[in-house]
Amino acid sequence: MMGFLYKDLCLMRKQIAYILFLTVVYTGLTVSGAFPSLVLPAVVTMLALIYPLNAFSWDDLAHWDRFAAAAPAGRRNMVAGRYLFVILLVAASSVFVTILLALLHLLGLLDGPLTESFLTVPACALAGLLMNAVVLPLLYQFGAEKARIISVAVFASIFGACALIGFAGTGLELRGIPSRTMGLGMVLLAAVTAAALAISFALSLKIYQRKEL
């Protein structure tokens, strides 16, 4: 499994420049006031969709599945490696965005409470994982190209919702919600996400084990 994870990480390493460019663009739009700060954490959700899709596309182009399925690790470890890759990607991007938000607040480039911005990061991260719980089985069933339209539609819906919430600004009134309620809501969302990923993994494994390569 770790070998398959390492392969995905090596492929993603070639896209670091694109990630940095994307981050600079979103940061600039946020600092300029074109986007509210609540939209910046949506980068986590976007990366959570883009790179799994790219990983499947690269595998298809290289006919990787036919070679890797014959390896001693087998199909189960291939699927497990891909899910672990997604989880690590979301975790790393969440840490990066959190540090970026803290830095922008310290420099006085962002308005509003820092806590409000921080709470948005785990929410977007969980949204990205939930999105993958839906999309990954589709990718294993139909392949990257056929599942791309559905994946983009799922992302557009979630990103649009995040954008609308962000542009609503004071209408959200996060500060008026008790911290205990917000904490319970986040725990509930995390539990739902964990259950969805477990079900998704079992479904993807079942699809992939019976799929002819």
**Mean pLDDT throughout 113-130?**
81
**Domain definitions of the chain by residue range:** 2-209
- pTM score, whole prediction: 0.80
Residue that wins the pLDDT comparison between 70 and 176: 70
Q: Which two tokens stand for residue 178?
A: 């008790």
**Mean pLDDT throughout 16-37?**
78
- State whether the Cα torsion 174-185-204-153 is positive or negative: negative
Q: How far apart are the first and last CA of the chain?
A: 19
Contact 193, 128 (CB under 8 A): no
